[in-house]
Structure 1
Amino acid sequence: MKRVQLLIPVLTLVTLLVTSCSSVKVATDYDEAVDFDQYQSFAFYKPGIDKAEISDLDKKRILRAIEVELTQKGLVKSTNPSLLVSIFTKSNTNVDIYRNNYGYGYGYGWRPYYYGGMGRETVSTSTEGTLYIDFIDAAKKELVWQGMGTGVLSQDREAKIERIKEIVLEVMKKYPPGTDKK
């Protein structure tokens, strides 16, 4: 019985640590002189969005996720907006090589005096994507806020859709400045 009583707090702590860690790295920057309460409406800035080098389907997914987050923050989509929203993306392919050496032998270093050992190399690749979300003051045509989210992307359609939502959510938690949801 005492074992179970000790196990419950440990499991709770482990669960909290695992679920509280997001695998999305987020950074933001903004103009400190801007009063973000003045922005009540938004529209997507098509010239900027058209330059994003991703599929049109992924663009739509990103824009829908941004629209959901801004609407939840009280902003309204408008044809005469106070804030323009633009996006752009970058991606890197990471190649990881793991070498598992095991065996026996003698000598110095790997070659030429090493014999009898065996090993196995495993190569894996992953794509890390970065999404930039820019908010532009519509009247002044000036960038006032930028959020950046970076995370590993999946090729699986369903996993990719969920990952896009997660990245947008994590970035949008930082808007407006000073109102981070923990």
Structure 2
Amino acid sequence: MKKLFKTLPFLALLILVSSCSSIRVATDYDKNANFNEYKTFAFYKTGIDKAEISDLDKRRILRAIESELLAKGFTKSENPDLLVSLFTKSREKINFYNNGFGPYGYGWGWHPWYWNSYHTSSVSRSTEGVLYVDLIDANKKELVWQGMGTGYLSQNMEKKDARIKEFVAKIMEKYPPGMAQ
């Protein structure tokens, strides 16, 4: 029983950390598109320029997308089958934690030693981001596939590059649609 109580905080921390690092992915696509026809790609500058993120982050995302598409057998081309665009959204989440009355075990209500109790609170901030990757049929100028990844972002420069690669990889896992994942 003591061993259970020792490992319980570790398991709770592990669940918390793994839930924060997860990326939720959703995709949508044109059911009439023949995804086997698409072999080449280029970036759609007009769409990418509208993304409201730093140029450094845009380049990180574009490099990650290019790497994923090349790994899937695509070729970068001046006359592409697909145009790749992206869009981003983010929102700051503020979480307020109220830790109650510390070691005394009192919860709601009054107790005579209120002035002597521990009452702690903390605030944490995190940024939740959404990355949309749009694949557009270059000939028809129609959106044929969209992948969306939602998760928490890192402001730490060393972790940012890895996090962006993780976002893009998770999204691009779902392309092309209908393939066994």
Q: Do they superpose with TM above 0.5? A: yes
2:74 aligned with 1:75: yes
Q: Which residue of 1 is the match for residue 128 of structure 2?
A: 128
- 1:108-161 deviation line (CA, Å, top 9, x unaligned): 747xx9933331001000011110000000000000000001111111111010
Provide structure 1 residue ranges, at least 5 long, that are not aligned to the other structure. 1-17
2:59 aligned with 1:24: no
Aligned length: 162
Percent sequence identity over matched residues?
Answer: 63
2:142 aligned with 1:142: yes
Contact 1:173 1:180 in 2 (8 A): no
With the length of structure 1 as denominator, give the TM-score of the two structures.
0.81
Contact 1:173 1:179 in 2 (8 A): no
Q: Quick one: which amino acid aligns to residue 163 of structure 2?
A: R
Q: Which residue of 2 is the match for residue 170 of structure 1?
A: 170
Q: Quick one: which amino acid aligns to residue 47 of structure 1?
A: T
Q: Which residue of 1 is the match for residue 6 of structure 2?
A: none
Matches within 5 A, 1:145-164: 145-164=145-164
Whole-angstrom distance in 2 between the partners of 1:157 and 1:135? 28
Whole-angstrom distance in 2 between the partners of 1:177 and 1:105? 54
Q: 1:49 to 1:115 in 2, by over 3 A?
A: same
- Give the CA RMSD over aligned residues: 2.6
Kindly report structure 1 stretches of 4+ aligned residues shifted beyond 2 Å. 103-106, 113-118
Q: Quick one: which amino acid aligns to residue 131 of structure 1?
A: L
With the length of structure 2 as denominator, give the TM-score of the two structures.
0.82
Bigger proportion of residues as helix: 2
Q: Which residue of 1 is the match for residue 63 of structure 2?
A: 64
Whole-angstrom distance in 1 between the partners of 2:85 and 2:148? 12
Contact 1:105 1:115 in 2 (8 A): no
Helix, strand or coil at the partner of 2:114: coil
Per the TM alignment, residue 69 of structure 1 is displaced from its structure 2 partner at its CA by 0.5
Provide structure 2 residue ranges, at least 5 long, that are not aligned to the other structure. 1-16
Per the TM alignment, residue 101 of structure 1 is displaced from its structure 2 partner at its CA by 1.1
Contact 1:174 1:180 in 2 (8 A): no
Whole-angstrom distance in 1 between the partners of 2:155 and 2:168? 18
